[in-house]
Amino acid sequence: MTEFNKILIANRGEIAIRIMRAANEMGKKTVAVYAEEDKLGLHRFKADEAYRIGEGMGPVAAYLSIEEIIRVAKHCGADAIHPGYGLLSENPDFVDACDAAGITFIGPKAATMRALGDKASARRVAIEAGVPVIPATEVLGSDMAAVKREAAEVGYPLMLKASWGGGGRGMRPIFGEDEVEEKVLEGRREAEAAFGNGEGYLEKMIMRARHVEVQILGDAHGGMYHLFERDCSVQRRNQKVVERAPAPYLSEEQRTEICALGRKICAHVNYECAGTVEFLMDMDDGKFYFIEVNPRVQVEHTVTEEVTGIDIVQAQIRIAEGKTIAEATGKASQDDVRLNGHALQTRITTEDPLNNFIPDYGRITAFREAQGMGIRLDGGTAYSGGVITRYYDSLLMKVTAHAQTPEAAIARMDRALR
């Protein structure tokens, strides 16, 4: 068992600061990396040490440079690297590079990531594990006539999905054969730009659906807990906008069922660290269908932390140090993980609602935070005088409200946002 002294955070903004807070409470030193365009980024100044990366590279390419991040980690003597979410967090080559450098990657193994990070491969794992999946094609080839035949076999309407990555990138609804070629090519270009891999597949679209996901923690000793579920059905352009825990429309029997399915697929691949298993719930018949596994911490993890009292990032770190889930969470068994109240999360962004929600940029001249009982703020670049560039995500801050009833949590969120 290894105790980390220094953790490098291979990310920026809100999630980098979130990880630094968790590490700081554990008495561990933190290291930030930043691109030239991010030199005024708040995460740079929250860390114990900070290093510029990616000289001569683009603003995003710098954070995607495995070589640069490993160079800094070795230079500063970091024991471990936490990838956060996005960027390199789902890249198995990055895990391999950490292993080769003798630095612990705080996350699942590379083999697990390869099995689950590719959505098409994850479907096969789900089928092997006996978890229901939505009818879909295999990974699409370049022969468009063959793609149209496969689409017809599954049946319209369909959803095009990128095999790698998340966040709705590369997703396109397809309602008929006349839309197939244009949307498949369009989706491939977006996925290629976002993840460096344009692979995708077609999946049957469920018209009346809820998006429900299960938070999982697994350790290297065969232990596995679920931390219940979240609802992420409120989305815009396939990006989650409001997240809730627990899902208020599930019966206790449905909650037990979906959490068991989440554990089942992760147990099948001996999953380690934090991960999220995502499902669609067909509101017409109440059935759950596996979508994908996100092998990392999620943007919306805060709502689960609020209703379970478990710090997911600290649990990730302790599991990576070799501890059991019981040691990592302070919960002796799955039965000791209990729900306490209701939480929801919203995102404060720079998007302009009068201009099709296009991300805005410039200097923040004034900023006032919401405060008060039951409100949690996870900030990244939101402060008076802060400079928002055009290069990165438009997220400024996450607001999480917690109360004993859904109505009270919603009221707190409403007050905080106003």
Give whole-number Cα distances, 221 to 148, 224, 286, 293, 342, in Å.
Answer: 46, 9, 34, 21, 31
d(CA 14, CA 383): 12
d(CA 312, CA 318): 10
What are the φ/ψ torsions at residue 124 (nearest 5 degrees)?
Answer: -65, -40
C-beta of residue 40 within 8 angstroms of C-beta of residue 114 = no
Residue ranges of the alpha helices (H) in 215-311?
252-268, 301-308
C-beta of residue 67 within 8 angstroms of C-beta of residue 91 = no
Among the listed residues 324, 272, 300, 312, the one whose alpha carbon sits nearest the alpha carbon of residue 14: 300
d(CA 90, CA 66): 12
d(CA 134, CA 292): 11
Residue 272, judged by CB atoms within 10 A of its CB (0-12, 13-18, 19+), counts as: buried
Torsion of CA 215, 110, 288, 161, to 10 degrees: 120
How many other CB atoms are found less than 10 A from the CB of residue 257?
15
Residue 163: half-sphere exposure toward Cβ, Cα within 13 Å: 23
Strands (DSSP E) found in 295-365: 342-349, 351-352, 358-359, 362-363
Active site residues: 296
